[in-house]
Structure 1
Amino acid sequence: MQRATNILILILLTGCAAPLVQPTSQTNKNPEARPIKTNIEALLIEAGQNIPPHSTKLILRAASIALENEDFRLVQQLIQNIESPYLSKENITLYTLISATLALHLKDTELAVRLLDDKRFQDLGFTVDEKIQANRLRARAYKLRRSYLASARELIQIDQFIPPEKQLANHEEIFSVLLQLSEKSLGRQSEISVTNEERGWLSLASMTKRYQYSPFQQLNALKEWQRLWAEHPAALVPPSSLNRLAQIVEKRPKNIALMLPLQGELGKLGRAIRDGYIAAHYAVSPEAQLSIYDSTTTDVINLINQAHQQGAEVVIGPLDRDRVTRVALNSLPIPVIALNRTREGEINPNLYQFGLAPEDEARQVANKVISEGKFKGVVIAPSTDWGQRNIEAFTEEFTANGGEIINSALFAEQRDYSNIIKALLNVDESEARAMELRRITGERYEFAARRRQDIDFVFLLASPLQARGINPTLAFFYAEDIPVYATSHVHNATSSRIDTIDMNGIRFCDIPWKLSSEDPLQVKTVNTWPEASNQLAPFFALGVDAHRLYPLLEHLKENPTENVFGSTGILSMNEQNVVQRSLTWARFHNGQVNTIPMTFSEGE
């Protein structure tokens, strides 16, 4: 009786569900939408007239149709109402693959892997298509959990079964996943790999990472790799980015103009960017001609025209946002890589916008908490223009993805944050209720204040000094179990352990330059300019990455899924020619900064 009731409810839910394809007008309805829904309803009606395993098979077929049409809400309802999924081989296979796909859509990677590793599923004999589908799902799960080597292994295992016309897509995915690992990890794994196919992939990725900032050296190394691994699948069907190397080298600009403020208010930042660029220039492409222009007082359009007349093929700069906006509104004779964003999102086909916008970090925090299933949070920020801009950027991204800001608190320059934290967490209301109860009853009794229980996280916008006061105050007012997220503003790479002990537990995103010292160019730059490791570090890193970007402009523009693993983050380009940065995550622990590790231990 209960089973029949459940089937009836599913039929009603299907009938009430929103159309799978929303028509743009009454006269432009998708003719396939109703037949799809009708097919699902027919399957469910038939399921209601049968018992497992046949009824289960029918519901799974209905779920499969819903999945093909990306109606994940209906898929979830159908899967949750299956009583006996493990009574037949066909049902086990379909149930596992659909449920794992749904789990990945819901970002529940642990459940997806558990389903795919279930012995009842693993003991079945798979068809080739089922094997490919299962491995791809497991690869997606591992990738989402940042276990990149495990993800690549799943794809390498099925490469031999994939039809030739689809092999390039599989190779692209293997290669892009492996490139998430460091050159050191790739080299170590290559030495201990047990199969030639895996070892070849690892050595190819390791070589690519080693010469990623020098297309000319990378091309020569690729030719040598292809000679040694002539029969390897990646040599027979190379990833597209490697196929384009020769073209990138041939079209690489040989005359570059660097246009920065070297005096005045922005002079210190401009000189740091200049020195970072020069370090990369002489380390990688000393044969290229480099001209440096001071943009402090001269009109930027006149400077660009002057540089073009003197033979420049690309301009790097300016830095000031107003000048970048002016550049965007003018016709440009050559490509310009601006080191900031325009004020109102102005674009220009010859303008590429690259910078250290703090709002990008706030958006990344929003995506991070959403990906971890945290949808309710509070915000603590300074009552400044900087604080307001970052609150707006975070709120826009967070709410667009289903998040809810429960409360917020603004602070000024102060040492005691007790009052704003008590109000933020509703501790003051708890204390007020206790005082009122004592007044009414006339009795004294033991009382423990309580904080609000409806928040998943705290988003903190603060300097290191401010964070050292706010973080302990949160713990004092009973929020020690609520995770705190912050932007790079909270992290000073030169702070002592004593200075950071009060920031224990804070998670934050920051540029690789400040969190790692594996890059030889970074080490050399810091040795030459010690200030490249302090507050000017991001601007030295910006100069280095500007040099890494300019040969790849067209490549990144034509291939938006391609990345550059830079010192300011993992870089990619959107359709507006804006360079986007994905930062590294870290956490304060016992006065030290630890990058957040991968979920699985794969020796990565």
Structure 2
Amino acid sequence: MIACLRLFSAFCLAALLAACASSPSSSLGELPRTPDASIEQLLEQATSAKTPEKAALLRLSAADMAFQQNNPGRSAQILAQVPMDSLKPAAQVFASTLTAELAMTRNQPKAALTALQHPSLQNLAELPPEQQIRTSTVHARAYEADGQIMAAARERVAMAPLLTGEAVAPNHEAIWTLIAAVPAEQLQATGNPTLDGWISLVQAIKSAGTLEQQQAAIDTWRSQNPAHPAAVNLPTPLVKLKELASQPLNKIALLLPQEGPLANVAKALREGFMAAHYQAEQAGQKPPVIEFYDTSRLTSIDDFYSKAQAAGVQLVIGPLEKPLVKQLSARAQLPITTLALNYSETEQGPPQLFQFGLAAEDEAREVSRRARADGLHRAAAMVPKGEWGNRVFNAFRQDWEAHGGTIIGVEHVDKPVALAQQIADLFKLRQSEGRAKSLQSTVGTEVAAQPSRSRDIEFIFLAVTPQQAQQIKPTLNFQYAGDVPVYATSHVFSASGDINQYKDMTGVMFCETPWLLDTSNPLRNQVAAQWPQANGSLGRLFAMGADAYGLAPRLGQLKALPDTRIDGLSGSLGMSPSQRIERQMPWAQFVSGQVQRLPDTPR
């Protein structure tokens, strides 16, 4: 009986070893295969394997099995017991690939890319297609996570011919998503015909403005590249663009309050919206019909949608009130596509809900972008005390630190009398004065020493009112920090036209809407002729209303093509994955009370 058991065990071991090997071995050696055995059985057989190579293959199979069972910790532990130098090239490719996959589970793309630089990877093309696909897939994922978008696209294009069945479409869509996310000015020919075909398709669509122009660009490209994979199977976002082009927008519901605390805000939005509508009419376009609904008399949001549906409304613009936007964002579905004119607290809402507003957080991120483009790395911040200041600072901090920047300190502005001390604390001036006094005490005579500020701070992020900014900038000068660049949000600019108000803020740079910086814009001048307040701070709301009209027919386009931007009057508009419209803004600077436009930040 015992002899029979031993014979059976020997048979099992032989079967396991056979299962661990690829078909006929070559000079590259064997690839491990995951056999019909448990991790424990594989490890046990590895301890008694006759050769180091067989033991290593069994451990590689065990490590891979742990990885496939979603146990990366144990997989890494087993893999660490496999000496790479004992493996032949094929197994080294396998081990390097698994190492990269494990690194990606830890969100370490650079470690994954390092693993995939192993010399054995030069032999990848000689290995079975399954291994080539697996290695190329993790390579593409690592490139993408590391920000090397075109390298990721090139990897996916290279492995596309190896794919069959259900694996083809996801890779096809991933190639499109990658290349479409690259700014147009960074797209250049590579010498790879298939990759260059993808690039020329993206360029053709990005250079076209309207849906109709993009549709024509797609048709032209397909006729010029009939055999290209993207021509044979159009990427899903482009199929959606074709559908959008065939469904013109004929009726919009404008949902705003006519009474209550937000009535004046709503009026400015409405006038800007309608001004853009009339301008489209004058240009010979066939704009949609606009129907007005008053949220100040709204009793039920469901009743509104029922009436709007019955009236043939295809798009709702509004509401403005935050509680209503919050209510809509909590729903799983909406009966009509809706562009809310405010933001909810939650990131994700129903697929039919888009959100647009003059978010201070956008401006905080804009400051981060500008300072980063100017080559700065270390920031301090001054924001108002309270919830708004915390929110704006957090938006700045998250974007700044996500791109490698450092926050040296933050002061929350409240009472003007405390400003001098706050700025002194920020720049460590008191430490400088203390050193001077200590030196004076040591030498026993009076020391002529001017306080010196800390040089750690390269610029100040400022998000305060014009009145606060008028106090802060002179105090910085007084506290030996007048040479520190100040990057501010638009809140420092009241657009009052009062030169004296800004004389003390010379040098302060701030982002602002194109509406208030481009005084030659025809629509702005047309609106301001009827409503002079559009020249002041309310102009931002007129601009937002006009941009809401411009966004109306292009929401689907922004969703389908994530890198698309629309040059609006409130900023350059794009869409986040959570369907929020985000603004990038131009810049200006105060000089002797005047506002001077600065060159735009590179996108």
State the secondary structure of the residue aligned to 2:191: coil
In 1, the alpha carbon distance for the partners of 2:84 and 2:158 equals 31
C-alpha contact (below 8 Å) 1:270/1:319 kept by paired residues: no
Give the one of 560, 571, 575 matched to 2:575: 571
Q: Find 1:238's aligned residue among 220, 234, 239.
A: 234
Q: Distance in 2 between matches of 1:398 and 1:74?
A: 36
- Residue 205 of structure 2 is matched in structure 1 by 208
Structure 1: gaps of 5 or more residues: 1-34, 370-375, 598-604
In 1, the alpha carbon distance for the partners of 2:254 and 2:429 equals 54
Q: 1:45, CA displacement in angstroms?
A: 8.9
Indicate conservation of the 8 Å contact 1:355/1:542, yes or no. no
For residue 227 of structure 2, give the secondary structure of its aligned residue in structure 1: coil
Residue 155 (str. 1) matches residue 156 (str. 2): yes
2:89 maps to: 89
| Amino acid corresponding to residue 547 of structure 2 in structure 1 | V
| Conservation of the 8 A alpha-carbon contact between 1:564 and 1:572 | no
From 409, 414, 425, the counterpart of 1:412: 414
The 8 Å contact of residues 460 and 484 in structure 1, kept in 2 or not, is answered as: yes
Q: Is structure 2 residue 543 aligned with structure 1 residue 540?
A: yes
Q: Is 1:290 equivalent to 2:293 in the alignment?
A: no
1:393–1:96 Cα change, 3 Å: same
Within the candidate set 186, 194, 200, 1:197 is matched to 194
- SS of equivalent residue, structure 1 residue 389: helix
User: Does the aligned pair in 2 maintain the 1:571–1:582 contact within 8 Å?
Assistant: yes
Letter in 1 for 2:289: L
Letter in 1 for 2:194: E
TM-score by length of 2: 0.61
For residues 471 and 77 of structure 1, the distance between their equivalents in structure 2, rounded to whole angstroms, comes to: 59
Alpha carbons 1:248, 1:552 under 8 Å: kept: no
> Residue 115 and residue 503 in structure 1: after superposition, are their counterparts in 2 closer, same or farther (change >3 A)?
farther
CA–CA separation in structure 2 for the residues paired with 1:276 and 1:489 = 25
Q: How many residues align?
A: 530
**Contact 1:438 1:444 (8 Å CA) reproduced:** yes
Amino acid at match of 2:122: D
Letter in 2 for 1:153: R
What secondary structure, in the 3-state scheme, does the structure 2 residue paired with 1:231 have? coil
Paired with 1:389 and 1:295, the residues of 2 have a C-alpha distance of 30
* Matched AA of 1:316: I
Q: Aligned residue for 1:123?
A: 122
Partner of 1:177: 178
For 1:290 and 1:524, locate their aligned partners in 2 and report how far apart those are by CA, in whole Å.
23
Q: Is the 8 A contact 2:436 2:447 kept in 1?
A: no
| C-alpha deviation, 1:245, in angstroms | 4.0
Classify the secondary structure of the residue corresponding to 1:123.
helix
1:383 maps to: 385
Give the C-alpha shift of residue 198 in structure 1: 2.8
CA distance in 2, matches of 1:158, 1:287: 47
Task: Give the Å deviation of 1:414.
Answer: 5.1
Q: Distance in 2 between matches of 1:327 and 1:234?
A: 37
**How do 1:435-474 and structure 2 match up within 5 A?**
461=463, 466=469, 469=473
User: Residues 423 and 572 of structure 1: is their aligned pair in 2 closer, same or farther, counting only changes over 3 Å?
Assistant: closer
Contact 1:378 1:407 in 2 (8 A): yes
C-alpha distance after superposition, 1:531-568 (max 9, x if no partner): 99997568636743664455656996xx8x96764455
Whether 1:254 aligns to 2:250 is yes
Segments of structure 2 that go 5 or more residues without pairing to the other structure are 1-36, 372-377, 496-502, 590-596
Residue in 2 aligned with 1:600?
A: none
> 2:389 is matched by which residue type in structure 1?
G
Letter in 1 for 2:244: I
Deviations 1:168-212 (A, max 9, x none): 1111111112212345655xx3xx553442333223223333446
Separation (CA, whole Å) in 1 of partners of 2:490 and 2:172? 35
Structure number with bigger Rg: 2
- Identity across aligned pairs (percent)? 24
Cα deviation, 1:579-602, whole Å, max 9, x if unaligned, reads 23466699999x9666467xxxxx
Q: Deviations over 1:402-421 (max 9, x none)?
A: x9999753113759956325
Cα 1:267–1:322, aligned 2, differ >3 Å: closer, same or farther? farther
Q: CA 1:595–1:470 in structure 2 vs 1: closer, same or farther (change >3 Å)?
A: farther
Matches within 5 A, 1:452-531: 461=463, 466=469, 469=473
Alignment of 1:323-472 (within 5 A): 324=325, 334-342=336-344, 352-359=354-361, 380-391=382-393, 408-412=410-414, 419-423=421-425, 461=463, 466=469, 469=473
Kindly state the Cα deviation for residue 233 of structure 1 after the two structures are TM-superposed: 1.1
Q: 1:534 to 1:53 in 2, by over 3 A?
A: farther
Distance change >3 Å, CA 58–CA 587, structure 1 → 2 = farther
Distance of 1:585 and 1:145 partners within structure 2: 27
CA contact (8 A) 1:328 1:348 kept: yes
Are residue 227 (structure 1) and residue 223 (structure 2) matched? yes
Cα–Cα, structure 1 residues 322 and 43, in superposed 2: closer, same or farther, change >3 Å? same
Amino acid of the structure 2 residue aligned with 1:386: W
Change (3 A) 1:350 1:164: closer
Seen in structure 2, the aligned counterparts of structure 1 residues 334 and 584 have a Cα distance that, compared at 3 Å, is closer
C-alpha distance after superposition, 1:122-172 (max 9, x if no partner): 533432344434444443344345443343222222222221432211111
Q: 3-state SS of the aligned residue for 1:318?
A: coil
**Deviation for aligned residue 1:298:** 6.1
Residue deviations 1:310-339 (CA, integer Å, cap 9, x gap):
543322123343564687899987543221
Q: State the partner residue of 1:317.
A: 318
Q: CA 1:286–1:461 in structure 2 vs 1: closer, same or farther (change >3 Å)?
A: same
1:554-593 matches, cutoff 5 A: 565-567=565-567, 569-572=573-576, 574=578, 579-581=579-581
Q: Distance in 1 between matches of 2:79 and 2:370?
A: 28
3-state SS in 1 of match to 2:285:
coil
Do 2:132 and 2:159's aligned partners in 1 also have CA atoms closer than 8 Å?
A: yes
* Other structure's SS at 2:316 match: strand
Equivalent pair of 2:427/2:454 in contact (CA under 8 Å): yes
> What is the CA–CA distance in structure 2 between the aligned matches of 1:70 and 1:425, rounded to whole Å?
50
Q: For 1:430-474, what per-residue CA distance to the aligned partner results, in whole angstroms no more than 9, with x for missing partners?
A: 976997899899999999999799x9999765579959959989x
* TM-score (norm. length: structure 1): 0.61
**Residues 161 and 592 (structure 1 numbering): CA distance in 2 closer, same or farther, change over 3 Å?**
farther
Please give the alpha-carbon distance, in whole angstroms, between the structure 2 residues aligned to 1:60 and 1:450.
Answer: 58
How much does 1:286 deviate?
3.2
Letter in 2 for 1:341: Y
What are the Cα deviations for residues 70-120 of structure 1, in whole angstroms up to 9, with x where unaligned?
Answer: 5566667777887756864145323433444455556655554455445x2
Letter of the 1:571 partner, please give it.
M
- 2:382 touches 2:462 (CA, 8 Å); kept in 1? yes
Q: CA 1:342/1:484 → structure 2, altered by over 3 Å: closer, same or farther?
A: same
Partner SS, residue 181 of structure 2: coil
CA change 1:237–1:343 in 2 (3 A) is closer
2:253 is paired with a residue whose SS is strand
**Displacement of 1:291:** 1.6
